[in-house]
C-alpha cells in the first residue's frame, strides 16, 4: 500500500504526471502564452501571404521612397522603448512596489499612444496620396492592401494592449493588482513589439 | 513558477534596449544600402531573429522559463518556414514559366527590377 502511494506521489511530482504544470507556469500565464502563439500564427500567415504576393507580382514599389522612413524609425524606437519600460513595470510589480509599477505602466501607455498617433498620421497621409484597399497610385493593388491589413491588424493589437494596460494601471493605482496580472499584460505588450520588429524588417525594409 | 526566485534588473533592460536600438539602426542601414536582394534578406532575417530572441529572453523572461515552454513559443517560426517553402516553388524567382497578364491580356515582363514610386510622402 505504501509502495503504491509512493509511486503515485512520484508520478504526480514528475513533469507530465498531472500534479503540476509541465511548463512551470501558472494557468493564467500559460494561457497568455497560448494566446500569443496563436496570434503569432495569424501574423505569420499575413507576412507569408505578403511575401508570396510580392514575389509573384511583376513589380513592387520601393518602400523607402513611398513611406516616411524617419517616422517609421521613430515609431520603432518608441515601441522598443515602451517595451523596455514595460519590463521595468513587471520588475517593480514583482518587488511589490506598486507606485513604481504604476509609473512605468503610465510611461508604457504613453509610448503606445504615441505609436498609435504616428500610425494614424501615416495612414491618413497614405490615404491622402490615393491609397485604397483595392487600388493605389503605385500600380500594384496588393501593395496598399497588404499595408492596410498588416499595419491595421497590428495597430488594433496596440489599441487592445493600451486598453489592457490602462485597466491594469488603474487597478494597480487602486492597490487591486497582482504581479501576475502585470506580467501577463507585459507579455502581450512585448508580443506587440515582436510583431512590429517583423513588420519593420519585412514590410518597410526588405 | 519557474522565475519566482529570479530577477532581471533595470540595468539589463537598459542594456537590452540599447542593443535593440543598435540592431534597428543596422537593419535600417541594410534597407537603404544597395545590395543583392538575397543578401539583404539574409541580413534582415538574421537581425530580426536576433532582436526577437533578445526581447523574448530578457523582456519576456523566457530565459527563466522551462525549455518546453520556450520551444512552444517558437513554433510559429517553424510554421512560417514550412509556409515559405510551400509557396516558394510558385514564386517569380523559381518559376520561369510564370506569366503575368495585364487587364488587356498582354504579357507583363516579370523581371527582378522594381519601379520607383511616382511620388513619395
Number of domains in chain B: 1
Residue B113: inside a domain = no
A84 interface with B at CB cutoff 8 Å? yes
- Determine how many CB atoms are found less than 10 A away from the CB of residue A61: 22
Domain that holds residue B101: 10-108
Q: Note whether A115 and A157 are within 8 A (CB).
A: no
| A59 vs B contacts (CB less than 8 Å) | 113-115
- Determine how many CB atoms are found less than 10 A away from the CB of residue A27: 9
Q: How far apart are CA A114 and CA A37, in angstroms?
A: 26
Residue B4: inside a domain = no
Rounded to two decimals, the ipTM of the complex is: 0.87
pLDDT for res B103: 52
pTM of the model: 0.85
pLDDT for res B99: 55
A139 interface with B at CB cutoff 8 Å? yes
B49 interface with A at CB cutoff 8 Å? no
Residue B25: inside a domain = yes
Residue A15: inside a domain = no
**Cβ <8 Å between B2 and A84:** no
Q: Is B99 helix (H, G, I), strand (E, B) or coil?
A: coil
A7 interface with B at CB cutoff 8 Å? no
Residue A18: inside a domain = no
Q: What is the CATH number of the domain that holds A162?
A: 1.20.120.80
- Determine how many CB atoms are found less than 10 A away from the CB of residue B9: 10
B32 interface with A at CB cutoff 8 Å? yes
Domain that holds residue A81: 24-205
| A187 vs B contacts (CB less than 8 Å) | 60
Q: With bands split at pLDDT 50, 70 and 90, how would you rate the model's confidence at B102?
A: low
Between A44, A66, A187, which is nearest B76 by CB?
A44
According to DSSP, the residues that pair with B108 across neighbouring strands are B100
Residue A16: inside a domain = no
| Strands annotated E in B1-121 | 100-101, 107-108
pLDDT for res A195: 97
> DSSP secondary-structure letter at B56?
I
Residues 168-197 of A with CB under 8 A from B: 183, 186-187, 190-191, 193-194, 197
Rg of the Cα atoms in chain A: 22
Q: How far apart are CA A154 and CA A199, in angstroms?
A: 9
Number of domains in chain A: 1
Residue B116: inside a domain = no
Between A24, A26, A56, which is nearest B90 by CB?
A56
CA dihedral sign, ordered A148, A150, A151, A157: positive
Residue A135: inside a domain = yes
| pLDDT, mean of residues A186-199 | 96
Higher pLDDT, A132 or A84: A84
Chain segment A63-113, per-residue pLDDT in tens: 888 889 999 999 999 999 999 999 999 999 999 999 999 999 999 999 999
Residue B24: inside a domain = yes
Amino acid at each position: 500500500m505504501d509502495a503504491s502511494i509512493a509511486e503515485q506521489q512520484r508520478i504526480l511530482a514528475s513533469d507530465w504526471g498531472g500534479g503540476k504544470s509541465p511548463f512551470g507556469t501558472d494557468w493564467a500565464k500559460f494561457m497568455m502564452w497560448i494566446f500569443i502563439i496563436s496570434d503569432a500564427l495569424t501574423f505569420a500567415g499575413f507576412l507569408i501571404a505578403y511575401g508570396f504576393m510580392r514575389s509573384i507580382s511583376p513589380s513592387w514599389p520601393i518602400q523607402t521612397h513611398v513611406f516616411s522612413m524617419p517616422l517609421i524609425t521613430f515609431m520603432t524606437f518608441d515601441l522598443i522603448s515602451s517595451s523596455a519600460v514595460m519590463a521595468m513595470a513587471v520588475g517593480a510589480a514583482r518587488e511589490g512596489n506598486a507606485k513604481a509599477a504604476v509609473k512605468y505602466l503610465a510611461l508604457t501607455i504613453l509610448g503606445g499612444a504615441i505609436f498609435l498617433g504616428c500610425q494614424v498620421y501615416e495612414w491618413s497621409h497614405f490615404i491622402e496620396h490615393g491609397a485604397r484597399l483595392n487600388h493605389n497610385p503605385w500600380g500594384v493593388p496588393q501593395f496598399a492592401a497588404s499595408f492596410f491589413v498588416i499595419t491595421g491588424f497590428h495597430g488594433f493589437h496596440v489599441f487592445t494592449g493600451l486598453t489592457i494596460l490602462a485597466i491594469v494601471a488603474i487597478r494597480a493605482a487602486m492597490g487591486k493588482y497582482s504581479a501576475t496580472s502585470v506580467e501577463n499584460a507585459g507579455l502581450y505588450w512585448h508580443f506587440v513589439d515582436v510583431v512590429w520588429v517583423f513588420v519593420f524588417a519585412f514590410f518597410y525594409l526588405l | 513558477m519557474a522565475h519566482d526566485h529570479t530577477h532581471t534588473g533595470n540595468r539589463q533592460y537598459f542594456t537590452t534596449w540599447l542593443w535593440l536600438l543598435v540592431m534597428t539602426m543596422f537593419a535600417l542601414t541594410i534597407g537603404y544600402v544597395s545590395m543583392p536582394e538575397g543578401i539583404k534578406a539574409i541580413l534582415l532575417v538574421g537581425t530580426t531573429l536576433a532582436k526577437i530572441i533578445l526581447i523574448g529572453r530578457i523582456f519576456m523572461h523566457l530565459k527563466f522559463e522551462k525549455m518546453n515552454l520556450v520551444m512552444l513559443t517558437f513554433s510559429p517560426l517553424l510554421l512560417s518556414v514550412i509556409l515559405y517553402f510551400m509557396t516558394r516553388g510558385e514564386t517569380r524567382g523559381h518559376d520561369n514559366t510564370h506569366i503575368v497578364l495585364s487587364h488587356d491580356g498582354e504579357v507583363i515582363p516579370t523581371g527582378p527590377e522594381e519601379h520607383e514610386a511616382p511620388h513619395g510622402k
